A and B are shown apart, each in its own frame.
Chain A
Amino acid sequence: MTVEEREQRWTEAMLAERRGDAVAYERMLKEIAAALRRSLAPRLARVGLGVHEAEDLVQEIIIGLHSKRYSWDPTRPFLPWLHAITRYKLIDFTRQRRRDMRRRVDLPLDDWLEMVDPSADAANRSTWEMDRHLAVLPAGQRKIVRAIAVDGASVRCVARELATSEGVVRMTVHRAISRLLEAADPTPAIKPLSRNAHDKHR
């Protein structure tokens, strides 16, 4: 397809969107996504970003195009408009990733001091932090997690010591980990309504 044909096709689809033609608009967005994927993935690969990042960027551009679609003037060509949005999103995306990468590899002063002088204070702080995290667990779970994760005991040893099966120990560790993860991330997970709760809403 030539540039002129593409311009014509996507212009018609944008006009169709304004008339409420979802099918034509969806087809155009898919075509744009495919074209962007082909063009952006190698560019991002050059700066060390992978396929997932390219897909994130494609989604960003599609959302940007959709949310600002009324800034396109039908008397003007569509492709320069799309190019400006794509370029803006690409620059913004790489800048954000660079900032994020810098934050991830950053070496704050605390970490640096810990590295050059792993003093008793730091060790105490680590122990205190660990105790604080484990405090969310019931006593039984806490004992098993401490034995396996902190003291380094094997599942079999712990099972023998507690006079229970290895399966129960594994299950207890799994539940403890779920509980610790929940405690670490306070955002409420979206759970399906239980039957009782559903009935209550009726």
Chain B
Amino acid sequence: MTSTDDLIHSLASTAGTRHRGASLQVALAVTGAASLACALLLLFSVIGIRQDFADMAVRMPFAFKVLYATALVVGASVVALYAATPGASATALYALSPAGILLACGVIFDPTGFPIMGRTSTAVAVCMGRILFLSLPAMILTFVFMRKAAPTQPLFAGAVIGMLSASVGALAYTLACRNDGTAFVAIWYAAACAIMAVVAMMAHRVLRW
């Protein structure tokens, strides 16, 4: 057991010397802000905002979109903190319930009468593709954040990374999305999050430490 004792001695000799970085909460907030900034930059430079934005910005469908995407971002952020901290309480998972409630309300009480598959036959594919595209920088940044933390369930942490990054992408995309049905937004934005979660789960090995 001498080698373990030697190891412990050498580790203990560095007690208190490590630079104390920002707390996980601050680090996640910075990551989220940087991710949103990157997504908006991509949106403005590649996709552009919808032309009737000024009119739509004050109406209910747009408010629902922003509220729903924000609920996804906040919920996924809380769950990301849970995934990043060993032994954290699983009650953090309840943070996703507002987004779940909005999803259900959006689907059941859709007042817009908007087709669930969007304005055109390609609306679903275009919207989801753009959300995934806008969420790429967020995914990279969130992986960096998670690697610096201590995720003890890499598959779950990967799923949360995908969900958080897609919800940031979705929040940015609300400025460009021309499909205003609450059911459309609730279902397909969530589907984009699910796809990104599966993609990020496949990279869970990156999170091993």
Contacts and interface: CB of A to CB of B under 8 A. Distances in A.
A62 B4 contact: yes
A139 B21 CA distance: 61
A48 interface: no
B7 A59 contact: yes
B15 A25 contact: yes
Interface stretch (A76-84, A167-175, A178-186, A188-196): A76-84
A55 to B, nearest CB: 6
Interface stretch (B28-36, B42-50, B69-77, B82-90): B82-90
Nearest to A21: B15
B16 interface: yes
20 contacts: A20-B17, A25-B12, A25-B15, A29-B8, A29-B12, A33-B8, A62-B7, A63-B11, A64-B209, A68-B150, A68-B209, A69-B18, A77-B87, A79-B87, A80-B86, A81-B86, A84-B86, A85-B150, A85-B152, A88-B86
Contacts of B5: 30
B59 interface: no
A92 interface: yes
A68 B16 contact: no
Contact of B87 (A20, A22, A59, A81): A81
B1 A55 contact: yes
Given A20-B17, A84-B152, A87-B152, A71 B86 contact: yes
Q: What band does the interface of chain A fall in when counting residues whose beta carbon is under 8 Å from B? A: 35 or more
Contacts of B84: 71
Given A18-B16, A29-B12, 19 more contacts: A17-B15, A20-B16, A21-B15, A21-B16, A23-B12, A25-B12, A33-B1, A37-B1, A55-B3, A58-B4, A63-B7, A67-B209, A71-B85, A71-B150, A73-B85, A80-B87, A81-B87, A82-B87, A84-B86
A71 B12 contact: no
Pairs of residues from A and B, 3 with the lowest C-beta to C-beta distance, nearest first: A20-B16, A80-B87, A84-B86
Interface of B: 1, 3-5, 7-9, 11-18, 20-21, 24, 84-88, 149-150, 152-153, 208-209
A70 B149 CA distance: 9
> Which one of A55, A62, A68, A92 has the greatest number of beta carbons of chain B within 10 Å?
A68
A22 B24 CA distance: 25
A66 interface: yes
A90 to B, nearest CB: 11
> Which one of B12, B20, B85 has the greatest number of beta carbons of chain A within 10 Å?
B12
A79 B21 CA distance: 23
